[in-house]
Each structure stands twice: as structure tokens, then as C-alpha cells.
Structure 1
Amino acid sequence: MKKTILITGSSSGFGKVIAKTLASAGHKIFATMRGVEGKNKEVASELEVWAATNKADLEVVEMDILDDHSVNNAVKYALFTAGKLDVVINNAGMLVFGITEAFTPEQVMNVFNTNVVGAMRVNRAVLPHFRENHDGLIVYIGSVTSSIISPFQGPYVASKSAEDKIAETTHYEVSRYGIDSVIIQPGAYTSGTNHFPGAQKPADEETVKAYSLIEELPGQLVNNLQRIVEEGDEANVQDVADAVLKTIDTPKGQREFRVVIDPQHHGAEPINEVVDKMQYDFMERIGISELMKVKM
């Protein structure tokens, strides 16, 4: 069944592939990004040309997840144009890597504003519509680092963990309204995206110099992550897009809450299994375990 889907961060490697994959499957896509006429004009044009060439129902829409007004306008436009939204994909985010102490407070706040508060802004814009319809799906592009951290990504890891917990808490609070939530947890994709090439470095260079005992390690992070991809596997961004498509096409009530797509095999799956069991046990003891399942 054709669904109307809004994707944030569609200028990223993940976002572009997800948008094209879902549009190719016949869904109606609002591919949002900031700077449609500015910094991301080339990417926006690429998606528009692709959509026209492939006769796909994909439209690029301006949205800056750091700005309430921009988010609200984009969601209102999508609702006015399509009449409804079925799925929202919180994909927009930013990566940093380097010595944690050397990131300034302003840098850390920017990471959290993007990776955590940005998703909350989008949710606040779409949840009234979902609640009114007693239906809807929120997909979060999270990270396995919420379970197993990668050193030298401190602010990023902390923010993705926070996003994960906001997503889980929101899931419990909206499940009675028939709204479903899924967290996709990718591993590290060192190619096929601009995630690592575009990652922000620490601004405090003097503090970076103070870490001479490990100064070479942050720079080796990408190669080390690529090295541990198991032989025969491939860190292909398309795998993440395919997981998103499968999630959307899975009937409500049958979706997994967390989906791990991890070429490095960090080990998030057994941790998730234990945490889910303990969470259910706790929710059952306080009498609200039914909130863990979406109401049909």
C-alpha cells in the first residue's frame, strides 16, 4: 500500500538512498533538507532529476530541523499537499570525532540540538496529526553506539543514546493512539555517505595537543572500523535503506522495535535483548507493560 513519507536529512548519504529506495517502491516521498537553494542545492537538484527520470513521487522540501518555524512549515506543506502523513523518518544528524575534552560546550550543544532536539521538533509537528488519525509510524535512524560505544565520538555517542531514550519514551506515550515507532541501529558506514568525511573535529586544538599519548588514534578510527567488517560482508548503505523499507511495509503490531544493521558486529543485539526483557519486567511490575505494544 502506498504511504506518504517525510524524511529529514535527505541531503545525507543515508537520506538520499532511503528516499530513492522508498520512492522506487511506490511510496510518496517528501525529502526534506535545509539549504535547498543554498548549500544543498546540488543534492536537491540531483534528487529532483532522479525523481523525474524515474517517474517517482518524490518532492524536495526545505526543512531546517534546528528551527521550529521551518519544521512546522514543512510538515504543514506536506499535509496540505498530500492530505496526510503516514510515516516520518528522523534521519537528520551530525557526527563528530576526536578527543571528547577538546569539544567546546557550544559544539556539544550543537550536536544535541541536531541529533536529539531536532527529532523532538519533528515529532511535535507530526504527532498531533498521527494522534488524530490513531495511526502513524516514526522511524529513527539511530546507532549501535547507543549500546556499544566507539571511543573518540563522545558527544555523538551521548547524543545518539539520548535520542534512543527519547524515542523509546515517546513510543510508550503514544502507543495507545495507534502510533508505532522503530529505531534502526546502523553500524559505521565509512563510505557511501558523507557522514565521516563531513564529521566535525574538536575546536579546542590546545587540548587536542595535550593528548599526545593517543594523538594518532582518532585519525585511525575510520580505517579501524572498516578493517573489522567481517570477510564476505560489505558496509553497504543500501542495507539500511532496505531495512527501512521492510519496516514500513511490515504491518503495524508486527514490527521489531529495534532493528540492527551492523557490518562491524558491535554486539548490540544481545544487549538489546537483555534490556528489552528487563524493561518489560519493570513495566509489568508497575502495571503498564501494555504500553510497549502499539494499539491496533
Structure 2
Amino acid sequence: MSDSTVLVTGTSTGFGRLTVEALARRGHQVFAGLRDVTGRNERAAAELTALAAAEGLRLRVVEIDVTDQDSVERAVREVTEAAGRLDVVVNNAGMNFAGPVEAYTAAEAHRQFDVNTLGALRVNNAALPYLRAQGHGALIQVGSLAGWLTPPFNGLYAASKAALRSLTEAWHHELAPYGIEAVILDAAAYPTNIGANAAMPADQQRMALYGETMTRFVTDLVARTTAGAATIGEASQVSDALVALVETPHGKRPLQTLVAPPAQYAAVHALQEQANAAARIVADDMGIGAYLAAR
């Protein structure tokens, strides 16, 4: 299907930027969600607008701050008024807090969840009345392998993605009777700028307690990533998978899509299979198996 109307959040760079460009070039009507289009994302907004004009693409920038319910509702209303419909939402907006959990305040933790988890909740809540009225639609969340396996010094990010995964499973089961699919794509650490833009803890005194350990951890991680760059792959692997999910016929989208290098894929896919089997057993034992949608 190459004529869907798609709203993608977090499109200034990385997976989001690649996805909106690819979808638009394949003929979809695409709304590229950006926050602060006259400030920090002014250049990205101008580049996307220029690209649309140069290539004759149905690609339009829409301002959306996923942490602001009014902003979210205005953006969704703008999309539906301009396009007359909304077929797919891709919740890609995200940020990363990198550091020891002890060094973060509850307010900082709230900020991490506000963007990565509650942001998707706000966007989907705003979109669902339109999708329900149409009797069809898809909500695609961009998750992470960290939502399954928590690495050190990335606990807040991992927790926010694990919560997003749980929300997606609930949406998947609850919305299926209304013709709406909710699915998640879990991506490995492909090269984007999310790590470079990671927010550090405000409590530098507690952060300093982990100085030597964190230094070794980051050094080892960078060395491993650099040495394995040829096998990690490009961020376009994730955007290609998102495009494929958008274009998958209704009723055929799997709950979980995994994009990762071979060894990571095998390990997490096995974990997903075990979790899915366990979910079915527990639901059947509780007498609620009939309420589960196909996974």
C-alpha cells in the first residue's frame, strides 16, 4: 500500500528522518513531526520542506511536542484536516538518559518517561478517535533491545522502553476488536545521534562515584562498537523495517518486529518467543485467553 497517510514523530535525524523520506519517496502522504520548528529544529524543518518541493513529495512538517497534550492534539488535528484521514502513526520520538540510576532525580526520571513512554500515550490517545471512526489504522512504536535486556548505565532508558513495550501489548489486545493494530519494532543500537545527545545526571557528585567504572565501560563499549562496525549495520535497516510495517496489509503486522545484528537477533528473538508462549499459558490459566489478539 503506497497511499497511506502517516504521522511520524521525532523526525529531525536518525530513524525518524530516514523513515519519512523513504515513505514519501514511495508515494505515501507523510507528516514529519518535529518540536520547536522555529528553534532547535528550524534547519531540519527547512530541509524536509525543501526536499518535498524539490522532489514533488507529499511530505509536510507538522510541529508536535510529545510532552505537551495540547501540542499533540493540534498536530493530529492538522494532519486529519489536511489529509482527510490518518492511517498509521509511528511513535519514534525519544531521548536517552545515560548514567548510573543513583545519580538521577525522580524529576529527571519523569522526563525520560515523559518523552519515551508517555509521549506515545499522548499521541495515540489523540489519534485513536480518528482511527476508531475509520474502523482501521495502525500504531507503530519504536522500541529497543534495551526494553528486553537492561544494560548498565542505561537503566532509565531501558525502563522507559520496557514500559513502552508493555503499553504496546495492551493496545495490541485492546484495540484489535476495533480494527486497529498496535505493534512495536525493537531496534539494536544502530548508529544515530541519540547516544551523542544523551542527557547526563544533574547530580555530578553521585555521578563521580562511578567515574572509573563508567570510563572503563564506555571505553570498552566504543572499542567493541568500532571493531564490529562492519557487522552492526546502518540505521537504514531500521527505517526499512518501519516502511515495511507501514506497508504490511492490515491484519498481517506482527506484534513484535526485531532489527538487530545476527547474534543479538537470535538471543532476543528466543526471549520473545518464550515470553509469548508464557503469556498465552498464563492468560489461558487465568481464563482470559480469549481476549488475547494474535501475537
TM norm. shorter chain > 0.5: yes
Which moved further from structure 2: 84-93 or 201-210? 201-210
State whether residues 280 and 289 of structure 2, in contact with CA within 8 Å, keep that contact through their aligned partners in structure 1. Answer: no
State whether residues 184 and 260 of structure 1, in contact with CA within 8 Å, keep that contact through their aligned partners in structure 2. Answer: yes
Correspondence for 1:268: 268
- 1:114-153 to structure 2, matched below 5 A, reads 114-153=115-154
- 1:126-275 to structure 2, matched below 5 A, reads 126-189=127-190, 191=191, 193-220=192-219, 222-224=221-223, 226-227=225-226, 229=228, 233-263=231-261, 265-266=263-264, 267-275=267-275
Q: 1:123 to 1:223 in 2, by over 3 A?
A: same
Residue deviations 1:31-57 (CA, integer Å, cap 9, x gap): 011011111000111111111122111
Structure 2 unaligned blocks of 5 or more: none
Residue deviations 1:153-200 (CA, integer Å, cap 9, x gap): 0110111101110111111111100111221110002x3x22111111
Structure 1 unaligned blocks of 5 or more: none
Shift of 1:12: 3.0
What count of residue pairs does the alignment treat as equivalent? 291
- 1:16-35 to structure 2, matched below 5 A, reads 16-35=17-36
- 1:13-162 to structure 2, matched below 5 A, reads 13-162=14-163
State whether residues 4 and 86 of structure 1, in contact with CA within 8 Å, keep that contact through their aligned partners in structure 2. Answer: yes
SS in 1 for 2:140: strand
Distance in 1 (CA, whole Å) between partners of 2:214 and 2:23 is: 42
Q: 1:28 to 1:221 in 2, by over 3 A?
A: farther
Over the aligned positions, Cα root-mean-square deviation in angstroms equals 1.8
Residue type of the alignment partner of 1:205: Q
Shift of 1:219: 3.0
Q: 1:149 to 1:225 in 2, by over 3 A?
A: farther
State whether residues 175 and 182 of structure 2, in contact with CA within 8 Å, keep that contact through their aligned partners in structure 1. Answer: no
Which moved further from structure 2: 43-52 or 207-216? 207-216
SS in 2 for 1:66: coil
Residue deviations 1:7-44 (CA, integer Å, cap 9, x gap): 01111311100110111111100001101111100011
Which moved further from structure 2: 236-245 or 280-289? 280-289
Distance in 2 (CA, whole Å) between partners of 1:214 and 1:54 is: 49
Identical columns (%): 34
Correspondence for 1:292: 293
Residue deviations 1:205-246 (CA, integer Å, cap 9, x gap): 1111222451413433651551474x7524211110110111
State whether residues 96 and 156 of structure 1, in contact with CA within 8 Å, keep that contact through their aligned partners in structure 2. Answer: yes
Shift of 1:290: 4.8
Shift of 1:151: 1.3
